[in-house]
Amino acid sequence: MSPHTDSVTSVDARALWTEAMAAARLREASFTTLSGDELRAVYGPEDVDLDSERDLGWPGQFPFTRGVHPSMYRGRLWTMRQFAGFGTARQTNERFKFLLEHGQTGLSVAFDFPTLMGYDSDDAIAAGEVGQVGVAISSLADMETLMDGIPMGEVSTSMTINGPASILLAFYIAAAQNQGVDPAAIRGTVQNDILKEYQAQHAWLVAPEPALRMVTDMMAWCSEHAPQWNTISISGYHIREAGSTAAQELAFTLANGMEYVRRGVAAGLDVDAFAPRLSFFFDSHLDFFEEIAKFRAARRIWARKMREEFGARDPRSWMCRFHTQTAGVSLTAQQPENNIVRTAFEALAAVLGGTQSLHTNSMDETLALPTEKSVKIALRTQQIIAEETEAAHVADPLGGSYFVEAQTARLEAEAEAAFAEIERRGGVVPCIEAGWFQREIHRSAYAYQRAVEAGEKRVVGINCYTEEEDSQASIELHRIDSSVGEEQTSALGALRERRDDAAVRRELDAVREACRGSENLLERFVAAAHAYCTLGEIAAVLREEFGHFKEPQIL
């Protein structure tokens, strides 16, 4: 590794630099990353202890530090996947058809709050929230409307749903069957990462243990009947957005990933039968180099764990493939146009970090759901990176950078320390029940807020370069039609009239039986879906049988 120069000279050079540095006048500023890492002024060979064969490999090779594909973006660019959805199934269906006609092949579904939480649109608790931040899907009938005229054997659909993921997937499977499409032909993803719900996003249905059973039931069912379906997207994004540092995001996400693997194995599945269908979802924040290092460290750690600890043999089981979203929480309501620039840096970090797909946030992030115009700018940002910069021409362009390699190694070491801490506290689920993750995340969020208010962490428009005049008023807003709720409610009322009540009762009883026994729950949900049992009805049975999760008191 050492350069071919005379080593005495290089030591002298470093000593000289150290001296010059000590004498230099420095700016009044903090040089610490969001993870609290005190950065050095420059990094050199002494700062990295790297065995390139062991720690880097080549792209597409273990431990995949440099990327999961040999050709990286020369083969195929990352997928530009903008997450969206609102209103009724019919409105979203129209939008999907429009997108498909314009060449998009993948659909991405955002659900509204009632659906995310497992309530029907006509539940009293849903008042004012139906169709507001995503599409409302209360039964197979809504799913049929959503996918009407869309060939379900051909498109790939990503559904951002967790607590009731199995129920929504059951609606999807049933809708496909009604189109004459076999589950073996459906392609797509459900987020279905329940662990991070308790830790960060808080849209859960029942307590962790039964929820994990639903996850393993889905893994088992899909590996047999729907082998092209991705069963979990293990998400650090939510953990980070809830306030964690990059180091915590990395550690907690991978700890969750390992927990799913353990559960799958404990349920009797062969690790290579399901691990290739696991993928990840990370955040890309503004600490540019630390973020890039985080993506690289994630691949390295996952590969090592899967091969060495879990004995996976299929290289696809070792690969940490991931989607990235830029950091919504880094965006400001003040001078919102600046958000375009922030998002561009974050997107670039994701690309330099080797992401498989990317969502870029829109400049109106803090105001409401984005308008078409702002979404288009966000998408163009990705296209500019892909087409106009040479970022996509070379795999892992920052590999070998002293700084980035040192950060990668540091993050890996910090993650290992966190894994040990979680283990010491009894594992992921006990840590959730005790509120440990939640408390750690809250502390980081609070520290960040303090740092911003104290001016240690600079944010343009917030604590420097502020403007008197509020420029947010100049931005056009996305508004949701409030009649969505009424439309959904009356459609649901009609469905309840028309369906076969006896069949509904029979299927709900069967779900209840399955909860008490060991029958595969997804199998039962598909049957219940065909009888037009609603999301809320099925979820109510689960809540009754499995019990609620009460959030631990962490403040």
Ligand X SMILES: Nc1nc2c(ncn2[C@@H]2O[C@H](COP(=O)(O)OP(=O)(O)OP(=O)(O)O)[C@@H](O)[C@H]2O)c(=O)[nH]1
Residue 369, SS3 per DSSP? coil
x/- string (CB under 8 A) for another protein, residues 402-441?
Answer: -------------------------------xx-------
Q: Contact with another protein (CB under 8 A): which of 119, 229, 302, 322? A: 119
Nearest to 249 by CA among 268, 269, 235, 232: 235
Tell me, by CB under 6 A, how many residues bind ligand X. 5
Residue closer to ligand B12 (CB basis): 100 or 329: 329
Element (H, E) at 157: strand 156-160
x/- string (CB under 6 A) for ligand X, residues 432-461?
Answer: -xxx--------------------------
Residue 281, SS3 per DSSP? strand
Residue closer to ligand X (CB basis): 434 or 503: 434
- Residue 267 buriedness (CB in 10 A; 0-12 / 13-18 / 19+): middle
Measured between alpha carbons, how far is 49 from 405 in angstroms, rounded to an integer? Answer: 9
238 lies in the binding site for ligand B12 (CB under 6 A): yes
In the complex, least distance from residue 344 CB atom to ligand B12, rounded to whole angstroms: 16
Q: Which residues pair with 240 in a beta bridge?
A: none
Measured between alpha carbons, how far is 117 from 319 in angstroms, rounded to an integer? Answer: 31
Q: Contact with ligand B12 (CB under 6 A): which of 200, 212, 215, 422? A: 200
* Strand bridging mode 187-190 / 156-160: parallel
328 lies in the binding site for ligand B12 (CB under 6 A): yes
Element (H, E) at 223: helix 208-225
Could you give the residue ranges of the DSSP H alpha helices within 60-154? 89-101, 113-117, 140-146
Q: Which of residues 192-221 bind another protein (CB under 8 A)?
A: 201-203
Measured between alpha carbons, how far is 100 from 218 in angstroms, rounded to an integer? Answer: 28
Partner from ligand X, ligand B12, another protein, none binding residue 111, C-beta < 5-8 Å depending on class: ligand B12
Q: Which of residues 103-122 bind ligand B12 (CB under 6 A)?
A: 110-111, 116
Q: What is the largest CA-CA distance in the chain?
A: 87
In the complex, least distance from residue 460 CB atom to another protein, rounded to whole angstroms: 11
In the complex, least distance from residue 530 CB atom to ligand X, rounded to whole angstroms: 37
Quote the strand ranges of 368-480, DSSP E: none
Measured between alpha carbons, how far is 318 from 271 in angstroms, rounded to an integer? Answer: 11
Q: Contact with ligand B12 (CB under 6 A): which of 67, 131, 134, 435? A: 134
553 lies in the binding site for ligand X (CB under 6 A): yes
Q: Which of residues 416-435 bind ligand X (CB under 6 A)?
A: 433-435
x/- string (CB under 8 A) for another protein, residues 347-386?
Answer: -------------------xxxx-----------------
194 lies in the binding site for ligand B12 (CB under 6 A): no
Tell me, by CB under 6 A, how many residues bind ligand B12. 21
Q: Contact with another protein (CB under 8 A): which of 150, 265, 379, 480? A: 480
In the complex, least distance from residue 440 CB atom to ligand B12, rounded to whole angstroms: 13
Element (H, E) at 254: helix 246-266
In the complex, least distance from residue 414 CB atom to another protein, rounded to whole angstroms: 22
Measured between alpha carbons, how far is 208 from 316 in angstroms, rounded to an integer? Answer: 28
The conformation of residue 310, written as its DSSP 8-state character, comes to S
Nearest to 547 by CA among 298, 228, 206, 240: 206
* Strand bridging mode 357-359 / 156-160: unpaired
- Tokens representing 56 are 């880097």
Q: Contact with another protein (CB under 8 A): which of 470, 486, 513, 544? A: 470
Partner from ligand B12, another protein, ligand X, none binding residue 328, C-beta < 5-8 Å depending on class: ligand B12
In the complex, least distance from residue 30 CB atom to another protein, rounded to whole angstroms: 18
In the complex, least distance from residue 165 CB atom to ligand X, rounded to whole angstroms: 24
- Tokens representing 395 are 């795999």
Binding residues for another protein, rule: CB under 8 A, are: 113-114, 116-117, 119, 125-129, 132-133, 201-203, 241-243, 329, 332-334, 366-369, 433-434, 442, 445-446, 449, 453, 461-462, 470, 472-473, 477, 480, 550-555
